[in-house]
Amino acid sequence: MLVLEKNALSEEIESLVNQFGKERSALLQILQAIQRKHKHISDFAQQEVARMMEIHPVEVNSVVSFYSFLCTQPKGRNIVRLCQTISCDMAGKEKVEETVQRELGIKFGQTTKDKRITLEFTNCLGMCDQGPAMLVNEKVYTKLDPETAINILNEIK
Amino acid sequence: MVKRENERIPVSQQAHVVDKPKDLTNIGGTVSVQINEKKITVPLGTTILEACQLNQIHIPTLCHHPDLCIAGVCRVCVVEVEKMRTLQTACSFPIMSPIKIKTSTEMVRKARRHIIDLLLSEHYGECYSCFRNGNCELQNLAKEYGVDNYTFGHVQSPRYEVDNSSAAVVRDMNKCVLCKRCVRTCIDFQEVGVLEAIDRGHDTHVGTFLDKPLADVVCINCGQCINRCPTAALRANDPSDEIWTAIDDPKKHVVIQTAPSPRAAIGEEFGQEPGKSFTGELNTALRRIGFDRVFDTNFTADLTIMEEGTELLTRLKKALVDKDQSVKLPQFTSCSPGWVKYIEHFYPEYLDYLSTAKSPQQMFGALIKTFYAKEENIDPADIVTVALMPCAAKKFECNRPEMYDSGFKDVDYGLTTREMAKMIREAGIYLPEMPKSQFDDPFGDASGAGLIFGATGGVMEAALRTAYELITGREVPFENLIIEPCRGFEGVKQASVKLENCVEQYKFLEGVELKFVVAHGTANAKIVMEMLKNGELNDVHFVEVMACPGGCLGGGGQPIPTSAEIRKKRAEAIYEEEATLPIRKSHENTHVTYLYEKFLTDGPCGKLSHKLLHTHYVKRGKYIS
Ligand code: SF4
Ligand code: SF4
Ligand code: SF4
Ligand code: FES
Ligand code: FES
């Protein structure tokens, strides 16, 4: 990372800490804000958060590693999470999975070359009666079939 | 100055701690409960576990440790509380109303057994080859609950690679039961913050920042986590095989130096009550094992006092007489390698405050391969130096690249008390029954001042005995040379002595109030460093810091278990032994005088002693890339 980038990131984290406070309960909000903007929380960002909140970097790392919506490596601009839990699975998740993989030319767990989309699995989204369900960034799509899924994917930038 | 109770409460728990009345008769402050058939009265907020322990009712525990905050994560301590639907964890249940508790019902027994079975189903157990065999809390639980089959299966092969990167601490997560005692030790007790639970669910493991090898993170090698781990998931890096090889090699001249704290604790490894020193017995045992010479690290502790004391007087003179603004005061002690690494990581900008004197272990190594080799006419290349230490960080210290001043590796191996006990057992020796014997010349028996280095405040006390006498020509004004303010286990101690009627050479100190601060455990070191940062130590001259709680006697290489009570007993053993010694001031150690006459002829902090007995430090910082 360039020094300038580092400084910018530090400033950003500082303003987040000012906004949310130094209480431990603020940690998740701060991490989510970083994740939302940068699509990942870098090693450096974790250590800066720790420094400014006066906790240890490993504690931040512990929280980041616990939540699957937080990650340490950069991902695509959009994250598509397909539910893999049993109801959706029985409602036809596999077909959607295969089509999506073929259409994008990547497997689940991977990111497209142009960094447009990262494919991931998730567990139950609470939409079991309307499966298969899929989460695109923060929006839920239900009752998918291969065709609707592709249409949704094609629309995101 | 900040006063902290010895009982530290981690920030994360401060909101949940209930103040207990000191006086039990305080009306309203107590509550009556019934445990099994017994009716008892306890202060409000007492946990069920504490109440049971006070009444000799046994409750199994695993994640609970008397030094650490409550976690309540392992669940083996469950008990039945009347009118509550589920079982409750005794260790984390504060008694706030008159409840009825049952500690051994069918439900309780079955639940505990299930929990143990579940722990075992994840535990890669191979007890014969395990260093905790016979002293393992998980093994004990399995025995206590009569585990005779693996209800939920058993791990057949290791899941994790063993982390051997650190010179001091080995991590084998295959044996980890996720009790998080190490996490609480490192974060709350030592405030270093190396370990935490990483990942989730089945993948949860205790790891470092980004799962880096331990050698690449800010671990200070104190080994406190080892002493608190209930299993063998954490252990020290054991060099005993290499030492046996050296002993078995007739060409090698193998010498060992023993520090005071292992001698005050090694008996525990042989089933003795804490609080008895086995110095003489150990000397004999070591000779029988095959060490060619047995030396007393206290000799170089005395030497440290001469060097560090001279350095302090030089700094004081520069500051007071020459008005040199660049002189750094207070001077911090440098004998604790865990503390040295702590300041290198967390306060690198303050490294100049550290004394440049090496630790007694390293001074000894450098002298053995120079002075001793010459006196005895032995090729230093054939000498193997072993250091018996209470400490895990000493293993790291002797491997530092700065520690080759004799032209060889000054100290070849750092050995912990536990590993020494293992070697003694292996040699078929029962330590408590050994006849006593003395240390070998040319270093001989040291002064009591060197001995008390083992307890927190000891270096300060020893330094004061010598410094005060050098400056004023009189003994320290404390009865029996016991400098009470240096003793005891308060986290940060502060005191002073007034210097009056100084001898000619030190007239510049006339009327000066010599102020000193003593801290033990890096959590307290952090308090002191923050005080320094805030300018609260401007009038202080000398600061002693030991990385381990209680000082060396509570070191990470000492016998397991440890608790405040055990540490207190070890301290008593040290002070008791000290009181019986004929010489109790470092500058009166005749062997030290001899060394300055014969070898370090330009005196303390002279040219040769700077080469051999002093060192420099590395600015490490805490960022990990
Ligand atoms: S940690 Fe305990 S239970 Fe596990 S192998 Fe070692 S002695 Fe056995
Ligand atoms: S040795 Fe000390 S610093 Fe290192 S992990 Fe253990 S407790 Fe933490
Ligand atoms: S390494 Fe030891 S102390 Fe740490 S969680 Fe595992 S079993 Fe507990
Ligand atoms: S199983 Fe897919 S949303 Fe619940
Ligand atoms: S000892 Fe009580 S939950 Fe672990």
Identity of the amino acid at A116:
R
Fold of domain A3-66? Arc Repressor Mutant, subunit A (1.10.10)
Report the distance separating Cα B60 and Cα B78, nearest Å.
Answer: 9
pLDDT of B7 reads 44
Report the distance separating Cα B506 and Cα A152, nearest Å.
Answer: 86
Please indicate whether residue B316, judged by its CB atom, sits closer than 6 Å to ligand 2.
no
Band (pLDDT 50/70/90 cuts) for residue B30 is confident
Pocket-testing residue among B171, B172, B173, B186, ligand 2, by greatest number of atoms within 8 A of Cβ: B186
Q: For residue B516, is it within any domain?
A: yes
- Whether B465 and B429 map to the same domain: the answer is no
Segment A20-50, tens digit of pLDDT: 999 889 999 999 999 999 989 999 999 999 9
| Selected residue with higher pLDDT from B332 and A138 | B332
- Whether B350 and B282 map to the same domain: the answer is no
CATH number of the domain where residue B418 is located: 3.40.50.1780
| Ligand 3 atom closest to the CA of B178, numbered from 1 | 5
Band (pLDDT 50/70/90 cuts) for residue B29 is confident
Mean pLDDT lowest for which of B5-19, B281-295, B528-542? B5-19
pLDDT at B28 over 80: no
CATH number of the domain where residue B575 is located: 3.40.950.10
pLDDT of B21 reads 60
Contact A61 B193 (CB under 8 A): no
Contact A58 B200 (CB under 8 A): no
Q: For residue B61, is it within any domain?
A: no
Mean pLDDT across B5-23: 55
Alpha carbon distances (Å) from A139 to A82, A89, A133, A135: 12, 20, 11, 6
Segment B32-90, tens digit of pLDDT: 999 999 999 988 888 999 999 999 999 999 999 999 989 999 999 999 999 999 999 99
Report the distance separating Cα B21 and Cα B32, nearest Å.
Answer: 15
Could you tell me the distance, in angstroms and rounded to a whole number, from the CA of residue B150 to the centre of ligand 3? 21
Q: Which helix (H) or strand (E) holds A30?
A: helix A27-38
Which stretches of B103-162 are DSSP H helices? Answer: 106-121, 137-144
- Whether B330 and B342 map to the same domain: the answer is yes
Query: What tokens does B105 get?
Result: 């019902």
- Whether B287 and B420 map to the same domain: the answer is yes
What is the nearest CA distance from A51 to chain B, expressed in angstroms? 10
The residue length of chain B stands at 625
CB B195 within 8 A of CB B206: yes
- Domain final residue pick, B372, B402, B433: B433
- Whether B506 and B565 map to the same domain: the answer is yes
Mean pLDDT across B392-421: 97
pLDDT of B244 reads 98
| Ligand 5 atom closest to the CA of B63, numbered from 1 | 4
Pick from A24, A59, A65: which is nearest to B199 by CB? A65
CB B522 within 8 A of CB B547: yes
Computed over every residue of chain B, the mean pLDDT equals 93
Spatial CB neighbours of B195, under 8 Å, sequence gap ≥ 6 = A58, B182, B183, B186, B187, B206, B207, B208, B225
- Domain final residue pick, B398, B433, B468: B433
Report the distance separating Cα B580 and Cα B573, nearest Å.
Answer: 11
Edge-to-edge order in the sheet of strand B413-416: B293-296, B253-258, B383-389, B413-416
Please tell me whether residue B143 adopts helix, strand or coil conformation.
Answer: helix
- Whether B258 and B370 map to the same domain: the answer is yes
Active site residues of B: 308, 311, 335, 355, 394, 397, 402, 552
- Domain holding B263, by residue range, is 240-299+361-433
Mean pLDDT across A15-21: 96
pLDDT of B24 reads 55
Query: What tokens does B539 get?
Result: 């009038």
Report the distance separating Cα A52 and Cα A37, nearest Å.
Answer: 19
Alpha-carbon torsion angle B178, B182, B184, B190, nearest 10: -170
Please indicate whether residue B169, judged by its CB atom, sits closer than 6 Å to ligand 2.
yes
- Whether B389 and B529 map to the same domain: the answer is no
Chain A and chain B share a number of CB contacts under 8 A equal to: 46
- Whether B273 and B328 map to the same domain: the answer is no
Please tell me whether residue B296 adopts helix, strand or coil conformation.
Answer: strand
pLDDT of B200 reads 94
Q: How is residue B369 annotated by DSSP? A: I
Pairing of strands B38-43, B88-89: unpaired
Residues of chain B with pLDDT > 70, as a percent, come to 96
| Ligand 1 atom closest to the CA of B139, numbered from 1 | 3
CB B465 within 8 A of CB B586: yes
pLDDT at A97 over 70: yes
Query: What tokens does B448 get?
Result: 């009591």
Report the distance separating Cα A112 and Cα B417, nearest Å.
Answer: 56
Pick from B197, B207, B209: which is nearest to A57 by CB? B209
Q: Give the chain A residue whose CA is nearest to the CA of B217.
A: A58
Band (pLDDT 50/70/90 cuts) for residue B10 is low
Alpha carbon distances (Å) from A115 to A79, A106, B32: 10, 11, 66
Please indicate whether residue A13, judged by its CB atom, sits closer than 6 Å to ligand 4.
no
CB A104 within 8 A of CB A157: no
- Whether B312 and B422 map to the same domain: the answer is no
Band (pLDDT 50/70/90 cuts) for residue B372 is very high
Residue in the structure block whose two tokens are 């959607």: A96
Closest to B197 measured CA to CA, from B211, B216, B217: B211
Contact A58 B209 (CB under 8 A): yes
Mean pLDDT across B169-194: 96
- Whether B480 and B565 map to the same domain: the answer is yes
Mean pLDDT across A71-100: 93
Sequence spans of domains, chain A: 3-66, 78-155
Contact A57 B625 (CB under 8 A): no
Q: For residue B225, is it within any domain?
A: no
Beta strands in B167-324 (DSSP E): 169-171, 196-198, 205-207, 234-236, 253-258, 293-296
pLDDT of B4 reads 42
Band (pLDDT 50/70/90 cuts) for residue B287 is very high
Band (pLDDT 50/70/90 cuts) for residue B256 is very high
The correct answer on CATH 3.40.50.12280 for the domain covering A78-155 is no
pLDDT at B3 over 60: no
Report the distance separating Cα B183 and Cα B201, nearest Å.
Answer: 17
pLDDT at B2 over 50: no
- Whether B392 and B380 map to the same domain: the answer is yes
Q: How many domains does chain B have?
A: 2
Mean pLDDT across A74-90: 93
Contact B187 A43 (CB under 8 A): no
Spatial CB neighbours of B245, under 8 Å, sequence gap ≥ 6 = none
| Burial status of residue B350 (CB atoms within 10 A of its CB: 0-12, 13-18, 19 or more) | middle
